[in-house]
Amino acid sequence: MRGRHIAVLMSAIVLAGCGVAPETITPAATTTSSPVSEDVSTPLEKHTVSDPVKQVFDSLTLDQKIGQLIMVSLTRTQAASNLRPLLEGGQVTGVLLLDNGWTADEVAGAVEQLNTMDAGQPVGLYIAVDQEGGNVQRLSGKGFDAIPKATVQGSWSTDELTAKAESWAKQLSAIGVNLNLAPDTDTVPASMTRANKPIGALGRYFSTDPGVVGSHARAFIAGMSAGDVQTCIKHFPGLGRITGNTDTSAKGITDDVTTSQDNYVAAFKDAMAADPAMVMMSLATYSKIDADHPAAFSSAVVDDLLRGQLGWGGVVISDALNAAAVKSVPAPQRATQFIQAGGDIALFPAIADATAGFDGIKALVATNKDFAAKVDAAVMRVLRAKAAAGLLDNG
């Protein structure tokens, strides 16, 4: 994979890119912070003057910085060239391959086109998939093993799951995929395995026991990492206790049980020990944590609980921001509210929404210094994750 020699970056960069809590890394001297602009010299982060990630950050234009915070999708029926304006303008950090049934040849061809269009940018693209298994396996055609659903994976030993996940990862990395938006780290109560539409009814959970969920999520992450693919645990702080599907409904998506001290939340903390690259935010609302905002738009959930209480220092990505749960919010505000809450990468499946989200971020950066500082920090987190993936050398 291109840029792999970036692995010689200092180990602290790699650790931070994988989400190790800040207190586990000895920081350098604090420097003065400044908001995002065309000539930003110092983001809101401690660093050394020889920090390669900081040097890349300083080389980016404002549009390229904001572009690191937007991910867009590509379906099997879309021409990759539809994304050319976004890629050539540096307005997206990566592309999520949607639809089931992609073959290895189809993916390799799409990846080649995407990387060619992005070649003028200083930072490489995330090529992402949802490759959990069962009903959620986007790449399932010729060249890919059939991956069983998570309930089956949860019945295996952790050693077996790690070995299987490494094999699946190698199939992905061989054709240019570098990010798997998996494993699902939601716990579903035994009493709700059928009633829970987004996770339980589809068998997307490792177990009804959060301890098993955490251990198997770690095993899945370890295997993917060994196969050279980054991972993302989801959907924080958990989708197992709702009945509605946030993708398709704005009803039945409030969790009145989960608290910040919940064992279901602890499963995510357990999974973080395996250094996934990202945590994906749920679009459900958690009344005992923040009754007024979906988790992805809640600073109480993202900044206070995930980053503060659990110590997550890595990338936070949203669930798909075209979902019914948040569709009533204008696209520009979906992006800005997510970043204001502490998020990093806003996932917009539609090109028009991705463009609107980009424009919303850029407009608010120009008028709000506090928001601009949030953008600074988010861009640096994404660049550190990309350094760990070998994407800072886009040659």
Q: pLDDT for 216-264, tens place per residue?
A: 999 999 999 999 999 999 999 999 999 999 999 999 999 999 999 999 9
Is 286 part of a structural domain of the chain? yes
Tokens of 331: 């696209």
Average pLDDT of the residues in 91-116: 95
Whether pLDDT at 164 is above 80: yes
Q: What is the pLDDT of residue 42?
A: 37
Compute the average pLDDT of residues 150-157.
98
Residue 94 lies in a domain: yes
Confidence of residue 13 (pLDDT cuts 50, 70, 90): very low
Helix then strand count (H, E) for the chain reads 12, 13
Angle of helix 369-388 relative to helix 331-340, nearest 10 degrees, comes to 80
CB within 8 Å of 277: residues ≥ 6 apart: 17, 18, 19, 179, 230, 231, 232, 314, 315, 385, 388, 389
Q: Is residue 228 part of a domain?
A: yes
Give pLDDT, residue 50: 72
Q: What's the domain count of the chain? A: 1
* End-to-end Cα, the chain, rounded Å: 11
In a domain, residue 31? The reply is no
Residue 97 lies in a domain: yes
In angstroms, the CA 285 to CA 293 distance is 6
Buried b (16+ CB within 10 A) or exposed e, 121-139: bebbbbbbbbbbbbebbbb
**Conformational region of residue 214, where left means phi above 0, alpha means psi within -120 to 50, and beta covers everything else:** alpha
**C-alpha torsion 388→107→83→136, nearest 10:** -80
Whether the pLDDT of residue 122 is over 70: the answer is: yes
SS3 category, 94: strand
**So what's the pLDDT on residue 311?**
98
Written as six digits, the tokens of 250 are: 């704005």
Domain-embedded: residue 33? no
Q: What percent of the chain has pLDDT over 70?
A: 87
Mean pLDDT across 254-275:
98
Average pLDDT over residues 348-376: 98
Please compute the mean of the pLDDT values over residues 71-79 and round it to a whole number: 95
Contact assessment for residue 97 and residue 126, using Cβ atoms and an 8 Å cutoff: no
Residue 71, domain CATH: 3.20.20.300
Contact status, residue 183 vs residue 176, Cβ threshold 8 Å:
no
Range of the domain at 145: 66-363
C-alpha separations of 87 from 2, 62, 84, 126 in Å: 17, 15, 5, 12
pTM, full prediction: 0.88
User: What is the rounded distance in angstroms from the CA atom of residue 72 to the CA atom of residue 320?
Assistant: 9
Query: Residue 180 and residue 172: Cα distance in Å, rounded?
Result: 9
- The residue written with tokens 């290895």 in the block is 104
